[in-house]
């Protein structure tokens, strides 16, 4: 039995994909999404330890080894090899001959390859004398564990259902387009008969009446076809645009429903390129599927006509056309490999150019433009090489198909000419067969294009399916919080680490009670875990160990939106969107409540600046508007957080870019606004936290002190040393 091969979907999927191949070789078919979850894939990919952990969860016993190439023939196969010091592949077979030893590799990014010992050694060990391999052995647990049921076409059927729903939503237009297409198609079926009669009975019989009558009939049929084609094309374009928009909306809605931790493990460009994949599937469903149906009908009808006119010509057509289709199929695996490679490199290239453009000031002040452009150029050359190989492949595929089509036309025409010369066929039949061959070429070309379109759609479907199969943020969670927390937010025995075995624990055994209606401040040096703790309180992540409770309700059991809608938040890296001041402050509202917008702006002390502008709150800001300072950005974010008058407010360094005077004004306003609300503040400045009811001091992810400002200053310990320079307390 052939060793199963799978391609990686993204540049950093090689480790889980290797596990997928090995599990499949033992009869267990896991999805890549499931294995990526087992291995804890991050933007950095996976380490060998991550693969070991993932293999252990599958039920494999593993043994990582480093040894010289001479010993590799002794290891059990299949095994995972660390390849070129940056990649993982599967070695599944070794073949020894008298002259050489050949190594069979299944490379997730390239496909199956056979390498000689010299090439293999260079790729595996490089300049070292040894290479790294991971040996895997199945256990009883492996055979007892069953993969998550995988319905191969479930996601594709969802796309199909979405397409049907859109079409059914515009039944009249869709039905009219279909009827007109059928009329245009049926019109073409009359042409061969008209053409034969005009040649044999009109031209050959020298009867102008017949010729004239048939010409009029031909004009009528042709005009009907043109009118039907034109109207149906316009209708299909309108339907196509609706489908295209709805497909993208469906994809974006899926992204929004995903847990935020997913975006920590994905490169943004990867997610953006999948929008192109959505277009591919939509194009296949709207164009290729209809073309395939119509081409099949035309192929059957005109093939029957050809058979009735001359069976030998039909068999010649069938044989050579089959060769043309087989020629196209021969290139599919290679096209598949190039498409996967193109996606991975295109994501890196797009991400690189996005950073180059958006972070131009940073590049200029560090004189890094030469280095950054060289990095982009290197990636672009790599992408161009893949694109060029893909163009060559398509060219060879097209040249071969055209060659077979021309040979077919020439041979059949020559055969028919021989029959006419020997009085076995009339000239009219010969000309009609030539016309039919022209009509048959189009369905054959469409069939070949559909085969390629189906492959493209399938590749795109694989990548989109990975996203579609990810669990939504709200799955299995309660939509109801009977009432807002009335007593406290309680953190019990909480520890947390980010994905990836190389990431240590960020928070250790945290126990905090945050009283409702009070202000709690969290302080500590940079990297102590303050922002991470805030994100856990907002249900952006779930604790690795321990839990967070809203009164008696476990936070991880609630739909995050149920909790977040009660909260106003300012994060360190808050974003200003392209739009007006009003739209940015009332971010969740389609139509901002201007009274609330102005009140929030006044509390954030940015109202005077906005109102001096010619367009006031309707002034454009963000990427498509005027530049704003860091302090103005923070004041807009503060206004956004308090716009909805939430009962729970979380501020992460919300005033770090403000001068002391503006900070004092804003904090005075906010302290009045905070009355009766539950507030959690992360800050370095003493002026921001000194009035808090409770101050928590974090150091290296642990709570080292807690209390109010006065009691902590009297201790003259951690908190005292954090703020003594600001207060000039001295030792």
Residue 631's CATH number: 3.40.50.300
Whether residue 712 sits in one domain with residue 621: yes
Q: What is the pLDDT of residue 695?
A: 92
β-bridge mates for residue 587, sequence order: none
Is the confidence at residue 589, as pLDDT, over 80?
yes
Answer left, alpha or beta for residue 564, where phi above 0 means left and psi between -120 and 50 means alpha.
alpha
From CA 265, how far away is CA 267, in angstroms rounded? 7
* β-bridge partners, 521: 681, 695
**Stronger pLDDT, 187 or 681, i.e. the higher one:** 681
Weakest mean pLDDT among 198-207, 246-255, 665-674: 198-207
Domain boundary among the residues 123, 144, 165 is at 144
270, 463 Cβ separation under 8 angstroms: no
Q: Please state the rounded mean pLDDT for residues 356-361.
A: 70
> What pLDDT is stored for residue 287 in this prediction?
66
User: Does 531 lie in the same domain as 388?
Assistant: no
- pLDDT greater than 60 at residue 156: no
Check: CB of residue 635 under 8 Å from CB of residue 576. Answer: no
pLDDT bucket at 694, cuts 50 / 70 / 90: very high
What is residue 432's predicted lDDT score, i.e. its pLDDT? 79
Kindly state whether residues 243 and 303 are assigned to the same domain: yes
Residue 438 lies in a domain: yes
pLDDT at 174: 64
Query: Considering the domain boundaries, does residue 75 fall inside one?
Result: yes
Distances (CA, A) of 311 to 381, 429, 544: 53, 13, 73
The stretch 627-656 carries a mean pLDDT of 89
Q: Which residue has the tokens 């043309």?
A: 324
pLDDT band at 703 (very low <50, low <70, confident <90, very high): very high
| DSSP state at residue 523 | E
Domain end residue (candidates: 115, 144, 173): 144
The alpha carbon of residue 294 and the mean position of all alpha carbons in its chain are separated, in whole angstroms, by 32
Q: Which domain holds residue 611?
A: 488-730
Position 648 scores a pLDDT of 92
| Mean pLDDT, residues 639-668 taken together | 87
Give residue 594's pLDDT. Answer: 92
Give the three-state DSSP class for 177: helix
Same domain, yes or no: 453 and 362: yes
3-state class (DSSP) for residue 526: coil
Does residue 730 register a pLDDT over 50? Answer: no
State yes or no: pLDDT of 442 exceeds 80: no
Confidence label for 384 from pLDDT (cuts 50, 70 and 90): confident
> Do the domain assignments include residue 34?
yes
Q: 458: burial class by Cβ within 10 Å (0-12, 13-18, 19+)?
A: middle
Res. 228 pLDDT band, cuts 50 70 90:
low
Please tell me the least confidently modeled range out of 35-49, 127-141, 182-196, 632-646.
Answer: 182-196
The region, left, alpha or beta by phi > 0 then psi within -120 to 50, assigned to residue 575 is beta
Element (H, E) at 653: none
Whole-angstrom distance, CA of residue 261 vs CA of residue 499: 9
Read off the CATH number of the domain in which 444 is found.
1.20.1560.10
Query: Which of 198-212, 406-420, 528-542, 610-624 is the least confident region?
Result: 198-212
Q: Is 538 helix (H, G, I), strand (E, B) or coil?
A: coil
- The SS3 call for residue 47 is coil
**Domain at 117, CATH number:** 3.90.70.10
Domain total for the chain?
3
Question: If DSSP states are collapsed to H, E and C, what string results for 353-377?
Answer: HHHHHHCHHHHHHCCCHHHHHHHHH
Does a structural domain hold residue 243?
yes
The string of DSSP letters for 627-652 reads ---HHHHHHHHHHHHHTT--SEEEEE
| One domain for residues 621 and 711 | yes
Q: How confident is the model at residue 507 (pLDDT cuts 50, 70, 90)?
A: very high
Whether the predicted pLDDT of 155 surpasses 60? no
Q: Are residues 254 and 120 in the same domain?
A: no
**pLDDT computed for residue 508 by the predictor:** 93
Residue listed under structure tokens 């010409």: 215
Do 417 and 542 belong to one domain? Answer: no
Which of these three, 144, 175, 206, is where a domain ends?
Answer: 144
Q: If you average pLDDT over residues 211-217, what whole number do you get?
A: 64
SS3 call for 507: strand
- Mean pLDDT score, 375-390: 82
pLDDT at residue 731, as a whole number = 42
Among 217-231, 242-256, 299-313, 636-650, the minimum mean pLDDT is found in 217-231
Worst-scoring range by mean pLDDT, 117-131, 178-192, 305-319, 471-485? 178-192
Domain-embedded: residue 649: yes
> Residues 562-575: pLDDT tens digits?
888 899 999 888 88
Of the listed ranges 15-29, 135-149, 193-207, 347-361, the least confidently predicted one is: 193-207
For residue 222, the model assigns a pLDDT of 65
Give how far the C-alpha of residue 315 lies from the chain's centroid of Cα atoms, to the nearest Å. Answer: 47
The structure's pTM equals 0.70
Quick one: 451 and 556 in the same domain?
no
| Tokens 């490089």 found at | 126
Residue 152 has a pLDDT of 54
Residue 177 has pLDDT above 80, yes or no: no
- Residue 422: inside a domain, yes or no? yes
* Residue that wins the pLDDT comparison between 492 and 390: 492
Q: Note whether 430 and 514 are same-domain residues.
A: no
Average pLDDT over residues 553-561: 88
Whether residue 591 sits in one domain with residue 494? yes
Residue 392 located in a structural domain: yes
**How many Å apart are CA 169 and CA 242, to the nearest integer?**
10
Q: Cβ distance 59 to 26 under 8 Å?
A: no
- Whether residues 456 and 510 share a domain: the answer is no
The tokens describing 258, both together, are 């995903």
What pLDDT does residue 729 have? 45
Residues 54-65: what's their mean pLDDT? 91
pLDDT tens digits along 523-533: 988 888 899 99
Q: Per the domain annotation, does 675 fall within a domain?
A: yes
Q: What is the 3-state secondary structure (H, E, C) of 48-93?
A: HHHHHHHHHHHCEEEEEEEECHHHHHHCCCCEEEEECCCEEEEEEE
- Residue 661 vs residue 510, higher pLDDT: 510
CA–CA distance, 95 with 98 (Å, rounded to integer) = 10
Based on the fold, state whether residues 356 and 396 are members of the same structural domain.
Answer: yes
**Mean pLDDT rounded to a whole number for the chain:** 81
Q: How many angstroms separate the most distant Cα atoms in the chain?
A: 121
Burial label for 621, CB within 10 Å (0-12, 13-18, 19+), is: buried
Q: Which helix (H) or strand (E) holds 466?
A: helix 427-468
- The secondary structure of residue 423, as a DSSP letter, is T
């Amino acid at each position: 039995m052939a060793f199963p091969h799978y391609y990686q979907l993204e540049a950093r999927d090689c480790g889980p994909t290797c596990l997928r191949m090995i599990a499949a070789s033992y009869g267990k078919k896991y999805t890549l999404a499931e294995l990526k979850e087992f291995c804890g894939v991050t933007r950095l990919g996976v380490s060998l330890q991550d693969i070991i952990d993932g293999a252990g969860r599958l039920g494999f016993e593993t043994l990582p080894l480093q040894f010289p190439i001479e010993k590799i023939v002794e290891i059990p196969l299949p095994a995972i090899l660390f390849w070129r010091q940056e990649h993982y592949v599967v070695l599944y077979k070794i073949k020894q001959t008298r002259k050489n030893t050949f190594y069979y590799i299944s490379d997730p990014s390239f496909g199956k390859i056979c390498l000689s010992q010299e090439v293999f050694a260079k790729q595996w060990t490089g300049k070292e004398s040894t290479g790294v391999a991971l040996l895997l052995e199945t256990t009883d647990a492996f055979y007892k564990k069953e993969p998550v049921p995988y319905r191969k076409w479930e996601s594709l059927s969802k796309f199909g259902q979405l397409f049907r729903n859109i079409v059914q939503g515009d039944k009249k237009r869709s039905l009219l387009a279909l009827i007109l297409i059928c009329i245009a198609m049926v019109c073409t079926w009359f042409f061969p008969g008209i053409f034969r009669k005009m040649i044999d009975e009109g031209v050959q019989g020298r009867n102008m009446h017949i010729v004239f009558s048939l010409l009029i009939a031909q004009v009528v049929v042709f005009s009907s076809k043109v009118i039907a084609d034109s109207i149906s094309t316009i209708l299909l374009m309108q339907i196509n645009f609706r489908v295209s928009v709805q497909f993208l909306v469906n994809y974006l809605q899926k992204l929004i429903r995903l847990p935020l931790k997913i975006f920590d493990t994905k490169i943004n460009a990867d997610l953006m390129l999948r929008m192109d994949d959505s277009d591919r599937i939509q194009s296949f469903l709207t164009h290729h599927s209809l073309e395939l149906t119509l081409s099949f009908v035309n192929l059957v009808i005109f093939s029957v006509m050809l058979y009735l006119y001359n069976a030998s010509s039909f068999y010649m057509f069938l044989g050579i056309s089959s060769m043309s289709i087989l020629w196209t199929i021969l290139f599919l695996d290679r096209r598949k490999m190039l498409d996967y490679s193109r996606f991975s490199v295109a994501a890196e290239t797009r991400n690189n150019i996005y950073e180059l453009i958006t972070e131009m000031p940073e590049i200029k002040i560090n004189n890094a433009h030469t280095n950054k452009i060289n990095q982009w150029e290197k990636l672009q050359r790599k992408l161009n090489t893949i694109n060029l190989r893909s163009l060559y492949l398509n060219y060879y595929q097209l040249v071969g198909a055209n060659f077979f089509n021309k040979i077919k036309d020439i041979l059949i025409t020559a055969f028919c000419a021989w029959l006419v010369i020997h009085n076995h066929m009339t000239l009219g039949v010969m000309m009609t067969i030539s016309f039919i061959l022209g009509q048959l070429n189009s369905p054959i070309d469409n069939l070949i294009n559909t085969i390629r379109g189906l492959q493209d759609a399938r590749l795109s479907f694989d990548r989109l399916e990975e996203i579609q199969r990810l669990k939504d943020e709200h799955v299995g969670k309660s939509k109801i919080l009977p009432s807002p927390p009335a007593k406290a937010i309680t953190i019990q025995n909480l520890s947390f680490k980010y994905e990836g075995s190389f990431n240590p624990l960020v928070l250790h055994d945290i126990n905090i009670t945050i009283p409702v209606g009070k202000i709690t401040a969290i302080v500590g040096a940079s990297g102590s875990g303050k922002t991470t703790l805030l994100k856990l309180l907002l249900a952006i992540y779930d604790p690795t160990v321990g839990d967070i409770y809203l009164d008696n309700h476990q936070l991880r059991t609630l739909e995050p939106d149920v909790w977040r809608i009660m909260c106003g938040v300012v994060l360190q890296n808050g974003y200003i969107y392209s739009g007006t001041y009003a739209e940015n402050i009332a971010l969740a509202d389609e139509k901002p409540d201007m009274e609330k917008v102005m009140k929030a702006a006044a509390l954030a002390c940015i109202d005077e600046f906005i109102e001096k502008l010619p367009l006031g709150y309707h002034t454009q800001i963000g990427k498509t508007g005027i530049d704003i300072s860091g302090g103005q950005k923070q004041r807009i974010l503060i206004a956004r957080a308090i716009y909805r008058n939430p009962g729970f407010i979380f501020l992460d360094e919300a005033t770090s870019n403000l001068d002391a005077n503006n900070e004092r004004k804003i904090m005075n306003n906010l302290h009045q606004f905070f009355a009766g609300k539950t507030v959690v503040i992360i800050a370095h400045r003493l002026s921001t936290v000194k009035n808090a009811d409770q101050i928590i001091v974090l150091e290296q992810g642990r709570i080292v002190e807690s209390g109010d400002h006065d009691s902590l200053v009297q201790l003259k310990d951690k908190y005292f040393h954090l703020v003594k320079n600001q207060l000039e307390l001295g030792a």
